[in-house]
Amino acid sequence: MEKPLPVEYMLEVYMPGEMHTVAFTKTAQAPFQPFAVGDLIDCRNWDVGLAGRILRVTQVVHYVWEGGGRIAHKIGVLTRDEELSPKAFGL
């Protein structure tokens, strides 16, 4: 029996309102928790290009392919800026 291929998981979050401008990408050996339309992403303490922002997920796209001796699963998260008060986060 053939040994199963390793799986690489990627999370790619796009700049608010953009479909092709990647804000950041993270790679892991375990799946990321699922994202759903309407979810909030709190970037206020991040050190990437989205620092200080709160984003609302507008679309989630899954890409799956095989190559280079592995299977890859990338989740593309499209977003928009969200104006929320700290009370919305219980602060």
Q: Are 82 and 17 in contact (CB under 8 A)?
A: no
Is residue 2 in a domain?
Answer: no
Is residue 89 in a domain?
Answer: no
Domain encompassing residue 76: 7-84
Give burial (CB, 10 Å; 0-12/13-18/19+) of 50: buried
Q: How much is the pLDDT for 59?
A: 97
Q: How much is the pLDDT for 27?
A: 94
Q: Are 60 and 52 in contact (CB under 8 A)?
A: no
Is 67 strand, coil or helix?
A: strand
Cα distance between residue 22 and residue 16, in whole Å = 10
Number of independent structural domains in the chain: 1
Q: Shortest CA distance to 32 belongs to which of 56, 62, 3?
A: 62
The pTM of the whole model exceeds 0.95:
no
User: Which tokens sit at 1?
Assistant: 């029996």
Is residue 48 in a domain?
Answer: yes
- Per-residue pLDDT band at 44 (split at 50, 70, 90): confident
**Dihedral angle sign, alpha carbons of residues 11, 62, 15, 56:** negative
Is residue 67 in a domain?
Answer: yes
Is residue 64 in a domain?
Answer: yes
Is residue 1 in a domain?
Answer: no
Is residue 79 in a domain?
Answer: yes
Is residue 66 in a domain?
Answer: yes
